[in-house]
Structure 1
Amino acid sequence: MGENNTCFVIAPIGSPNSDIRKRSDKILRYVIQPAAEQLGFEAIRADKISEPGIITSQMIQHIIGDPMVVADLTGWNPNVFYELAIRHALRKPYVQIIRRGEHLPFDVSSVRTVEVDITDLDDVEAAKNEICRQMRSMMKNEIEIDSPISVAIDLEVLRLSGNPEKRQIADVLSSINELRQEIQKLGNRLTDPKSLMPPSYIKEVLLKEVGLFEDSITPMKNKYIINNKINKTLDQLKNHLLSVDNSNKLDFDWLKKAQNLVSELDIDIKNYMTSLDFYSQCNILDFFVKDDATE
């Protein structure tokens, strides 16, 4: 590891002796610090370099430059989300954690997040192990470091490309993002039952977005062989949406399953861009063509 071995911790701090501070101290001492130390990191929380609640240039430097960041999303603290958004945009390693049983804002619920109950010793141990696993995978470049912000940036790069194939991929990704955003809106509305629409209306809206996605890949179907897995996932998503009727109760689990199916439809932009030259010569796109026998 290089000279900088800091794991910067973004967390709700609260005032001294408050419940928020006490929990944050325990999470740092018993969960984050031991996990970070196993991989050679020194965990430093934001309040050690700045007054709680104040975002300084020094904090931003840590968010930008440190090799690892852990963000505790418990309590939906606005400063935490502001700082995490900066890290998201950089596409640099980060781990999200949250108190067990607390719902994530749907905007970031597609990102793998470690749940932890600080009062349960077994849960604390499991959380430490999962944090270590995620850190280790990122350090070895075993997983792509993506976030809602980095995906949006990649999408804009594709849209501005002079390559027609890249612009077609941008259209497909845009349709997927529209579908994901509709699901996110529904997830956020679940926290306010007064704003939630009837299940029949929700089904109609989401099926319409699925139809727009299918329209977006029609030009690709005319030119390339569409991967059977994409067609299969589309069918699963439509069947899941059709399962909603006026007698069903919408909950986070139903929306989470829908979101997971949408994520399966997502296209790996980085792999496409790196392999575009080869596949353009073959007139085959890596995203849509695969030997189904190998799946």
Structure 2
Amino acid sequence: MTEQETKKRCFIITPIGGERSDIRDALDGLLKNVLEPVLLELGFEDKDITVAHQMKDSGSINTQLITRIIEDELCIVNLTGLNPNVMYELAIRHAVGKPVVIIAENGTKLPFDIVDQRTIFYSNTMLGAVHLKEALSDMVENIISNPDHTPDNPIIKIIKDNAILDKIKSDGREHSELSLVLNKLSNLEKRIANTEKRKNTANINKSPEVDWVLEYKGNLDFQKILNSFSGNLDIFPYLTSEGENQKAVFRFNTYVSDEEIDYLLNLVIEQKVNFISFIRRKN
């Protein structure tokens, strides 16, 4: 294998902050203790791991930045703080359909249009750094092992849908085209409604550390549910005997409304498991 074939570059999209600011200190700690060690161990060279404020070449910084976002084999995006520049640069990366790893500090509430994107949430502690390194290493290694895989993201989904619509149109199946569009609009309205409910009822009665017990049959994607609540929910699966219904405790560590409980339940039902019961457990 030639040097050109093995060369890998990673651009890190992250809030930067001013010199000696809390944001810059957090970034430097994340780089030196987690991101760089993981990437170096997986075959990236130090000179090919870049953050915007480290760029030394002359010329337009924006041109260099966007070029790296478009061309690099990997981008790691830190959504902590939901910085507007970071969101814009993530959209560019999504548009080119190349691999991206999204990370965010616990408590980050992802916008509804990317809430279903796989995200590694971490705590800004020494133990949190250990867990982040493990999860990041697994995800990056999986990307490297599947170079021909086209990642899924909101922009790629739209492109694929448009391609389907073009095919339907060429086949003369206009009624199917309309059905697909209406279905997409309906799903979008539901997601917006759920987001608004959660935003407008965030502080309604209820107290922190409220437990709900779910009883079900089948396989649940707990990570997808956790991502939707961005660090405000813990899940503890029961160990059940073979043949018994599965159970899991959902513990909210912040204020939770009835609407948010309904939202969580809808996430469970959408996964098409055999739903049995969902009851509040008295503490």
Q: TM-score range by the shorter chain?
A: 0.5 to 0.7
Give the 3-state SS of the residue equivalent to 2:64 in structure 1.
helix
Amino acid of the structure 1 residue aligned with 2:13? I
Work out the CA distance in 1 between the residues paired with 2:162 and 2:80: 31
- Between 1:91-100 and 1:27-36, the stretch displaced more is 27-36
Question: Number of matched residues?
Answer: 208
Flag the 1:41–1:171 CA change in 2: closer, same or farther, 3 A.
farther
TM-score by length of 2: 0.63
Q: Quick one: percent identity of the two aligned structures?
A: 28
Flag the 1:64–1:20 CA change in 2: closer, same or farther, 3 A.
same
Amino acid of the structure 2 residue aligned with 1:152? I
Q: Which residue of 1 aligns with 2:17?
A: 14
Amino acid of the structure 2 residue aligned with 1:26? G
Amino acid of the structure 2 residue aligned with 1:105? P
The structure where strand makes up a greater share of residues is 2
Superposition deviation, residue 193 in structure 1 = 4.3
Work out the CA distance in 2 between the residues paired with 1:254 and 1:59: 42
Work out the CA distance in 1 between the residues paired with 2:157 and 2:264: 19
Question: Please, which of 40, 44, 53 is the counterpart of residue 37 of structure 1?
Answer: 40
Q: Which residue of 2 aligns with 1:145?
A: 151
Q: Which residue of 2 aligns with 1:56?
A: 62
Flag the 1:184–1:50 CA change in 2: closer, same or farther, 3 A.
farther
CA RMSD of aligned residues (A): 3.2
Superposition deviation, residue 82 in structure 1 = 0.4
Work out the CA distance in 2 between the residues paired with 1:140 and 1:170: 39
Question: Please, which of 177, 183, 186 is the counterpart of residue 191 of structure 2?
Answer: 183
Work out the CA distance in 2 between the residues paired with 1:157 and 1:174: 17
Work out the CA distance in 2 between the residues paired with 1:36 and 1:93: 14
Conservation of the 8 A alpha-carbon contact between 2:98 and 2:150? no
Q: Give runs of aligned pairs for residues 83-102 of structure 1, distance below 5 A.
A: 83-102=89-108
1:34-80 residue CA offsets vs partner (Å, 9 max, x unmatched): 221221124211111279xx960110110010000000000010000
1:24 is aligned to 2:45: no
Superposition deviation, residue 190 in structure 1 = 2.8
Q: Which residue of 2 aligns with 1:130?
A: 135
Q: Which residue of 1 aligns with 2:85?
A: 79
Q: Give runs of aligned pairs for residues 98-177 of structure 1, distance below 5 A.
A: 98-119=104-125, 121-141=126-146, 145-161=151-167, 162-163=170-171, 168=176, 171-172=179-180, 175-176=183-184
Residue segments in structure 1 that go unaligned for 5+ positions in a row: 197-247, 265-295
Conservation of the 8 A alpha-carbon contact between 2:13 and 2:52? yes
1:67 is aligned to 2:70: no
Superposition deviation, residue 24 in structure 1 = 1.2
Conservation of the 8 A alpha-carbon contact between 1:50 and 1:56? no
Q: Which of structures 1 and 2 has the larger relative contact order (alpha carbons within 8 angstroms, sep 6+)?
A: 2
Amino acid of the structure 2 residue aligned with 1:136? E
Superposition deviation, residue 174 in structure 1 = 5.6
1:120-162 residue CA offsets vs partner (Å, 9 max, x unmatched): x222111111112112222222965110111011111111221
Conservation of the 8 A alpha-carbon contact between 1:155 and 1:173? no
TM-score by length of 1: 0.61
Work out the CA distance in 1 between the residues paired with 2:159 and 2:199: 29
Work out the CA distance in 2 between the residues paired with 1:181 and 1:9: 33
Flag the 1:115–1:175 CA change in 2: closer, same or farther, 3 A.
same
Superposition deviation, residue 184 in structure 1 = 3.8
Flag the 1:254–1:139 CA change in 2: closer, same or farther, 3 A.
farther
Flag the 1:47–1:167 CA change in 2: closer, same or farther, 3 A.
farther
Give the 3-state SS of the residue equivalent to 1:102 in structure 2.
coil
